[in-house]
Structure 1
Amino acid sequence: MGSHQKSSTAALTLAAIGVVYGDIGTSPLYALKEVFSPSHGVALNQANLIGVVSMILWTLTVVVSFKYVTLILRADNKGEGGIMALLALALQSVGRKHRAYPFLLFAGLAGAALFYGDGVITPAISVLSAVEGLTEATPAAKPYVVPIVIGILTGLYWMQKRGTGSIGVLFGPITTVWFIVLAGLGMWNMMIGDTAILAAINPVHAVRFAVNNGWIFFIALGAIVLAVTGAEALYADMGHFGRRPIRLAWFWLVFPALALNYLGQGALLLARPADVSNPFFSMVPHWGVIPLVILATAATVIASQATISGTFSLTKQAVQLGYLPRMTITHTSSKEVGQIYIPFVNWAQYALVVLAVIGFGSSSALAAAYGIAVTGTMLATTFMTFFVIRYGWKLSLPLCIGATGVFALIDIAFFSANLIKVRDGGWFPLLLGAAVLGLMLTWNRGRNLIRKATDEEAIELKGFLKSLFLSPPHRVEGTAVYLNARAGVVPRAFMHNLLHNKVLHERNLFLSVRYEPVPWVPFSERVKVESLGNDCWAIEVRYGFKNAVDIPKAIELVAAQGIECEPMSTSYFLSRHVLVSDTCKGMPLWQEKIFAAMLRNAGDPAEYLGLPINRTIELGAQVRI
C-alpha cells in the first residue's frame, strides 16, 4: 500500500511539473533581459546586477514559496483551487448580507477577467521568446520569427479539439528535462562566469538595489514580476494534482532550477555584459543554440497549453456559477472530466493571440503588457484569501492581517509598477479584462432581472396541481420532464403544453437545476425527490461548478426512488426566454442590448444540459426586464 502511494505521488509530481510549472518555467527566457531593457533605465553594473538577481530570487521565495505554496494552497474549495473556486469560497464564507460581499464579487470577477488577458499574452510571449533564440544562431532568421510563431500557435489551437490526453503524458518528462537543462546551464555559467553573483542569495543586496535606485527600482519592478508569471497555476491546478505533488515539484526541482538559472545568467552578464540583449541563449555555445531553441519551444508550447486548458476550465466554472452564458462544451476524454474543449473560447483566444503577436512583434514589446494581467489577478487572490481565512477559518484578525498584509503590499507594489506601462502595451490586457468583466457583470445582472421578472408572475406549483386534478385533462402515456429555473413554481413550458395540447403525461417530473458554490457534488447527493401526488414529482438536481451537467443521467438516479422512466418514452420540455425591450427599467439601454445579444447567442440549452435532441421540445417565453 505504501509503495503504491509513493508511486502515485511520484506520477502526480511528474505530471504537475509539466502542467503546473510550464508558465513560470519559461520566465528565464525573458525576465532578466527585460529588467535591463534600455526602456527601464537600469544601469548594467555589478551592484545593480547582483541586486536585481537577488530581487528575483527573493520574489520567487516570498511570492511563490510563502504566499502560494505555503498559504494559498491551503485555501481550497473542497480540494479545488483557482480564482473562481476561491471567489465561491470567499462569498460563501462571508455570506450575502456582509458589506464586503459586493467588493469580493467585483474583485473575484475582475481577477478572473484579467486571467483571460493572461491567457492571451502567455502563449504569445512564451513562444515568441523561444523562437527569437533563432536570431542568436543567425540574424537572418529575424524576419521569419513572427510567421514561425503564428504557425506553431495555429497548430496548437487546432489541436485543442482533439484533446491533449494523447500527448499530455509527454508534458511532464519534457518539462522535467527543461528544468534540468535550466539548472545545468546555470551551474555551468557560474563555473565559467563571475562567481560574485552568489552574493545575490543575501537579501541585503535586494534591499540595497531598492534604496539606491528609487524611481528606477520602481520601474524595474514591472519587469522583475515576470519571474513569477504562472504562480496562479499552482493554485488553479490543485484539484488535478493535490497539494503534496505541487509542493514536492516546487521545492525539489522547479525552484532550485529557476534559482540556479537566474544566478547563471547573472554570472554570465558580470563576465560578458554585451550579452544583455539575450542572456538566456548566450548561456550556450553557438552550436547549442538551435537545440536549446527546440527545447525552449517545446517548453513554451506546453506552458501555452496549460494556459489554454486553464481558460477552458475557468469559462466552464463561470458559466455554471452564472457569470457567463451557456457555451458548447466538448469533453475530450472519457476518463478525465476536466479535459474539455470550448470552440468559441478557443478560436476567440487564438485570434487575439495572433493579433498580439503581429501587433507587438517581439517578446520585449509584449513584456510591458504581461505584468498587469498577472499582478491584477494575484492582488485579487490575496484580497479574497483574507476573507476566507478570517470568516471561513475563523482566525484572529491580527493573524489574518499579518498573513495576507505583507503579500498585499507586494502585490500592490508590482501592480502599481505595471500601471505605468499602460501606454506601452499595458492597455491591451486592461482593455480585454474590462470587456470580459463587463460581459460577466451584464450577464449576471440580466439573469437576476429575468429571475425577478419571472418570479413576479410565478404560480405556486403544489396549489396549481391540486386545483388541476379537481378536473384533470386527458393523460397520455410516457414521462414528461419540465425543466424549471426555480423550484416550487409552475414551469412556463408546462403551462404552454396544457394550454396548447390540453393533455397531461402519465408521469410528470418538475426538474430544477441548482449549482452549488463547490467544485463537486457526489452522485449520492445529486438528486432530491419530492412526491406531489398523481404521479407528479418535484426533482432538484445539484451540480458543482466542475461537474459535467447531464440531466438524463440524473433522471436515471431517480429510479432508486421508485420512479421508472423509460428513455424512449421520456420527453423534455423547456422554455427559452425571449427578451422584450421595455425602456430600460432594469438596466441602461446599451447594457440591455448587450444582454439581449448574449441571450440570443447563448448555447443551446438542450445541448448544454445533455438532453436528447430528438426528445426535447422548446417553448418560447417573452420576458420584460
Structure 2
Amino acid sequence: MAREVEITDDLKVLSLPKLRRFDSLDIESNNLDGHRGNRAAAGWWVTLQLAFQSIGIVYGDIGTSPLYVFQSSFPVGIKHKDDVLGVLSLIYYTLTLIPLVKYVFIVLQANDNGDGGTFAMYSLLCRYAKVGLIPSQQAEDEEVSNYELDIPNNRVRRASWLKSQLENRRSAKLFLLFATMLGTSMVIGDGVLTPCISVLSAVGGIRIAISSITQDTIVGISAGILVCLFMAQRFGTDKVGYTFAPIICIWFIFIAAIGFYNFVNYDPSVVTALNPKYIIDYFRRNKTEAWISLGGIVLSITGTEALFADVGHFSVRSIQISMCAVTYPALLLAYTGQASYLRIHIDDVGDTFFKSIPDPLYYPMFVVAVLSAIIASQAMISGTFSIIQQSLSLGCFPRVKIVHTSSKYEGQVYIPQVNFLLMLAFLAVTLAFKDTNKIGNAYGIAVVFVMTLTSSFLVLIMIMIWKTHMVLIIIYILVIGSLELLYLSSVLYKFDQGGYLPLAFALALMAIMYTWNTVYRRKYYYELHNKISSHQLKDILSVANPCRVQGLAIFYSELVQGIPPIFKLYMANVPVLHQTLVFVSIKSLPISKVPSDERFLFRRVEPRELGIFRCVVRYGYTDGHNDVQESFERSLVEKLKGFLRDDVRVSVKVEEEENHENGVIIEEEKQNIREVELEKEIEDVDKAWENGVVHLVGESEIIAKEGSNLWKRILIDYIYNFLRNNLRQSERVFDIPHNRLLKVGMTYEL
C-alpha cells in the first residue's frame, strides 16, 4: 500500500486574496456566500405540533415496555411481596436518571445542528479535532454555515490537552471510529430485537381471552405481522405516519388510566417505593438474584436512544415537552398500577400487563397494544435505515440503494437490500427464541451497550467542546456512568441465555464495516499518493495530443485533493478532451446537512484555455445523494458559471490591491478585456452543456499486491470484492443514465 500521506491545513489562516495566489491542486477556491448559524428557533405553536408528532415516532419502543418489564424482572416468580416495591423503586429512579436527566436534559444538547445519534456526536468530535482517518479536511469546509462550533473560552488547557492526545495518536482515532461502528451496530441490533419482543408480547396477550391458544400459534401470528410490516416498508413511513401519534397517544392514555385505576383499587401504599430504602432491602434479601434481575428492569428504558437519534425530525424543545408532559408521567402511572396489582395478585407476574386490565377494556387494550407494538417496530426499522445511510458517509458501509420516501419529512429513507436482510433476521430470532424472556436478555445488552457508548462520547464532548466544570463531569460519571455500568454487568451475566445474539449480530456488522472502511481508506491513500499534479497534467496532454470535442464531460472521483491517477489511463486509451471537463469529487462532511447553495466548491485547472475544472460536491451525513440527474447537471453548470464570475472578481481585487500598493491604476481597457473573456468562458460552458453531457466513472479494481500476507489477501481479494460485486455500483448509486455513461477501468494493487 502506498504510504499514508498527511495533509495539513496550514493555509487556513490565509485570507481569500492571498489564497488566490497559490497555484496548487490541493487548495480549493473559496467563493461561497451563505449565512451562519443553526436552525431558526420554531415558534411555540410549531413546537407543540412537533411535540405531538414526536409521540408517535420517538416513544413507541419505550412506551410499549410495560408489556414485559415485570415479567422479565421476575422470571421465576416473586418470593416476597416487598420485592415488588424494590423493583418499582428501581424503575422509578432508572426512568428518572437515564431517559429524563441524561437524555432529555443533557444528551439532547450534544446535537449536531439539530441531528442526534452516535454519528452526530462523532461528527462534533471530528470537527473540533482532526480525528478522521481520511485526510480530506479542507480549510474551506469550515466556511460552511453550520460547520462552525460555538466554543467557550474557559477551561481551555484541559480541552487542548485532550484534543492533542486524540489528534496525535492513531490508536485514539481508530478507537473512536471503532466505538462509532460498535454503537451503530448495537442500535441496529436494538432495531432487530424491538419488533420481536414488542409484537410477541402484545400478541401473547390473547392467551388471557383464549387459554387454549399455543405458543407456536402466537409465534406464527407474530411472524405474519412482521412479514406484512416489512413488505409495507417500500411505501415509506410518511404514508402511514399521520396515524402514529394518535395511536400512541391513545396507548399512553390507556396505560396511564389503567395504572391509576389499579393504584387506587388495589394497593395505594406502593407509592412508598419513592423511598430508595426499598432498593437496599431488595438487594439484601435477594443478593445475586436481585443483581441478575436488573437485566429485566433495564427493559423499562428500551428505546431511550431514540430520544436522541430522532431529534433531527423534530427539535430539542419538542422532545423535552413530549417526554416531560406525556411519556414520563404515563409510564410512571403504568408501572405504579402494575406494582399495585402485583401486591395483591403475586402469582400473575407472568402476564402482569394484560391481567391487570379491567375486563371491559381488555379487547380495546389488546388491539391498541398490537398496533403500538407495530408502530414501535416501524420506528426502529426506519431508524436502522437512517443509521445505515449515515454509515455510508464515513465510508463504513458498502454502497446500497437509498430511496427517499417522503418529500415533507427529511431523513425518511428506505433501503431495499437492508430491508430484506432485516426481515430474515427478525423471522430467525422470532422463530428460534419464541420466548420473550430470552429475547429480553439479548435486548438488554444492545440497549445498555449503546447507552454506555453515548455516555463515553458525551464525556469527551463535555471536556473538549463544552468545557464543562470538572466537578460536574465527575458527578455525571459517578451517578449516570456507575448506574449504566451496573446494568451492563447484569445483562452480560445472561450472555449464554440469549445475550450473545446482539453481540454476534454487532460483530458481523462491524466485520462488514471494518472491511469496507479499511480498503476504502487504503484506496484513498493510494490515489492521494499517485495523484496527477498540474505539471504532470501538461505532460500527459502533450503526449496524448487529445482531440477536442464538443460537450461537457463530468469525471467522477472520490479523491478530493487532486486529479485521480485513472485520468492518465483514460488519456492513454481515449485521447479525447471535451470542450469543458469537470472532475467531480463527492465528499461527505462531518455535519448533518450542507446548505444547497454551499454544496459546490470549484477550482480551475491551469492553463485556462483547457477548460478543465475541479469540483468538490459536499454532502452532510443525512443529505440524499441521489438527486435527479438533470437537476444535478443544471446546478453544477450554474455554480460553475458563478465561480467563473467570482474568479474574475477576485483576480481584479487582488490586482487592484497589488497595484494600489505600487501606485499603479488598472487600465479600463484591461478590465473590458477581462469582461469579454469572462463572457466567452460562460458562453463556452453553456454551449458545452447544450451539446450534451457525458459521465465518466472510474471503476477501480482493488487487489492485494504481490507478496501480501494471507489476512490482507482475504480482506481485499475475497471479502471486500464480494461486498463490492454484490451491491450497487457508482453509476447506480448516482442514477447516471447508461446512454451517457463511460466507465474507465484501472487496477489498484494495495
When normalised by structure 1's length, the TM-score is 0.95
Cα deviation, residue 457, structure 1: 3.0
* Structure 2 letter corresponding to 1:31: V
- Alpha-carbon separation, structure 2, partners of 1:508 and 1:436: 39
- Alpha-carbon separation, structure 1, partners of 2:386 and 2:423: 16
Q: Residue 55 of structure 1 aligns with which residue?
A: 90
1:155-174: CA deviation from partner (whole Å, max 9, x where unpaired)? 11000111121210010111
- Structure 2 matches for 1:142-291, cutoff 5 A? 142=214, 143-291=216-364
Tell me if structure 2 keeps the 8 A contact 1:137–1:286. Answer: no
**Structure 1 pair 156–353 and aligned structure 2 pair: CA distance change class (3 A):** same
- Alpha-carbon separation, structure 1, partners of 2:413 and 2:725: 24
Q: Residue 544 of structure 1 aligns with which residue?
A: 620
Count of paired positions: 619
Determine if the alignment matches structure 1 residue 26 to structure 2 residue 49: no
Cα deviation, residue 182, structure 1: 0.8
Identical-pair percentage? 32
Determine if the alignment matches structure 1 residue 388 to structure 2 residue 461: yes
Name the Cα RMSD after superposition.
2.0
Q: Residue 359 of structure 1 aligns with which residue?
A: 432
Cα deviation, residue 492, structure 1: 4.4
Determine if the alignment matches structure 1 residue 590 to structure 2 residue 686: no
Q: Alignment partner for residue 448 of structure 1, among 521, 525, 543?
A: 521
- Alpha-carbon separation, structure 2, partners of 1:438 and 1:418: 23
Tell me if structure 1 keeps the 8 A contact 2:58–2:379. Answer: yes
Q: Alignment partner for residue 189 of structure 2, among 107, 117, 124?
A: 117
Tell me if structure 1 keeps the 8 A contact 2:527–2:564. Answer: no
Cα deviation, residue 414, structure 1: 0.9
* Runs of 4+ with deviation above 4 angstroms: 468-472
Q: Residue 79 of structure 1 aligns with which residue?
A: 114
- Alpha-carbon separation, structure 2, partners of 1:586 and 1:478: 47
- Alpha-carbon separation, structure 2, partners of 1:397 and 1:56: 29
- Structure 2 matches for 1:307-318, cutoff 5 A? 307-318=380-391
Larger mean Cα displacement after TM superposition, 8-17 or 94-103: 94-103
Tell me if structure 2 keeps the 8 A contact 1:108–1:384. Answer: no
Cα deviation, residue 58, structure 1: 0.8
1:22-71: CA deviation from partner (whole Å, max 9, x where unpaired)? 00000000011111111xxx744222111100100110000111111111
Cα deviation, residue 211, structure 1: 4.2
Q: Residue 102 of structure 2 aligns with which residue?
A: 67
- Alpha-carbon separation, structure 2, partners of 1:520 and 1:612: 26
Q: Residue 697 of structure 2 aligns with which residue?
A: 574
Question: For 2:549, what is the secondary structure of its paired residue?
Answer: strand
Cα deviation, residue 285, structure 1: 3.3
- Alpha-carbon separation, structure 1, partners of 2:174 and 2:283: 36
Tell me if structure 1 keeps the 8 A contact 2:541–2:571. Answer: no
**Structure 1 pair 337–65 and aligned structure 2 pair: CA distance change class (3 A):** closer
Question: For 2:614, what is the secondary structure of its paired residue?
Answer: strand
Tell me if structure 2 keeps the 8 A contact 1:493–1:574. Answer: no
- Structure 2 matches for 1:361-510, cutoff 5 A? 361-460=434-533, 462-468=534-540, 472-510=545-583
Tell me if structure 2 keeps the 8 A contact 1:385–1:404. Answer: no
Cα deviation, residue 585, structure 1: 5.2
1:216-247: CA deviation from partner (whole Å, max 9, x where unpaired)? 22101111100000000000011111111111
Q: Residue 406 of structure 2 aligns with which residue?
A: 333
Tell me if structure 2 keeps the 8 A contact 1:369–1:429. Answer: yes
Question: For 1:566, what is the secondary structure of its paired residue?
Answer: helix
Larger mean Cα displacement after TM superposition, 278-287 or 238-247: 278-287
Question: For 1:280, what is the secondary structure of its paired residue?
Answer: helix
- Alpha-carbon separation, structure 2, partners of 1:387 and 1:451: 28
Larger mean Cα displacement after TM superposition, 85-94 or 140-149: 85-94
Tell me if structure 2 keeps the 8 A contact 1:117–1:432. Answer: yes
Q: Residue 618 of structure 1 aligns with which residue?
A: 743
**Structure 1 pair 615–266 and aligned structure 2 pair: CA distance change class (3 A):** same
Q: Residue 211 of structure 2 aligns with which residue?
A: 139
- Alpha-carbon separation, structure 1, partners of 2:625 and 2:183: 26
**Unmatched tracts of structure 1, length 5 or more:** none
Tell me if structure 2 keeps the 8 A contact 1:492–1:575. Answer: no
* Structure 2 letter corresponding to 1:126: S
Larger mean Cα displacement after TM superposition, 241-250 or 329-338: 329-338
Q: Residue 75 of structure 2 aligns with which residue?
A: 37
- Alpha-carbon separation, structure 2, partners of 1:403 and 1:151: 44
**Unmatched tracts of structure 2, length 5 or more:** 1-41, 132-166, 644-681
Question: For 2:43, what is the secondary structure of its paired residue?
Answer: helix
1:351-388: CA deviation from partner (whole Å, max 9, x where unpaired)? 00001110011222211111011111111111011111
* Structure 2 letter corresponding to 1:578: E
Q: Residue 524 of structure 1 aligns with which residue?
A: 597
- Alpha-carbon separation, structure 2, partners of 1:51 and 1:567: 75
- Alpha-carbon separation, structure 2, partners of 1:369 and 1:436: 16
Q: Residue 603 of structure 1 aligns with which residue?
A: 728
Tell me if structure 2 keeps the 8 A contact 1:478–1:506. Answer: yes
Q: Residue 107 of structure 1 aligns with which residue?
A: 179
Question: For 2:243, what is the secondary structure of its paired residue?
Answer: helix
* Structure 1 letter corresponding to 2:218: V
Question: For 1:132, what is the secondary structure of its paired residue?
Answer: helix
Cα deviation, residue 183, structure 1: 0.2
Q: Residue 49 of structure 2 aligns with which residue?
A: 11
Question: For 1:513, what is the secondary structure of its paired residue?
Answer: strand
Larger mean Cα displacement after TM superposition, 495-504 or 245-254: 495-504
- Alpha-carbon separation, structure 1, partners of 2:392 and 2:731: 15
Question: For 2:317, what is the secondary structure of its paired residue?
Answer: helix
- Alpha-carbon separation, structure 2, partners of 1:242 and 1:316: 21
Q: Alignment partner for residue 636 of structure 2, among 552, 555, 567?
A: 555
Cα deviation, residue 101, structure 1: 2.8
Cα deviation, residue 455, structure 1: 3.1
- Alpha-carbon separation, structure 2, partners of 1:179 and 1:512: 49
Tell me if structure 2 keeps the 8 A contact 1:218–1:417. Answer: yes
**Structure 1 pair 620–470 and aligned structure 2 pair: CA distance change class (3 A):** closer
- Alpha-carbon separation, structure 2, partners of 1:279 and 1:609: 52
Tell me if structure 2 keeps the 8 A contact 1:68–1:235. Answer: yes
* Structure 2 letter corresponding to 1:549: H
Q: Residue 535 of structure 1 aligns with which residue?
A: 611
Cα deviation, residue 98, structure 1: 4.5
Question: For 1:514, what is the secondary structure of its paired residue?
Answer: strand
1:285-336: CA deviation from partner (whole Å, max 9, x where unpaired)? 3453332221101001110011000000000000111111110111112333
**Structure 1 pair 219–489 and aligned structure 2 pair: CA distance change class (3 A):** same
* Structure 1 letter corresponding to 2:128: S
Tell me if structure 1 keeps the 8 A contact 2:569–2:746. Answer: no
1:120-159: CA deviation from partner (whole Å, max 9, x where unpaired)? 1001100000000001111222242111111111111000
Tell me if structure 1 keeps the 8 A contact 2:81–2:346. Answer: no
Query: Which one has the largest radius of gyration?
Result: 2
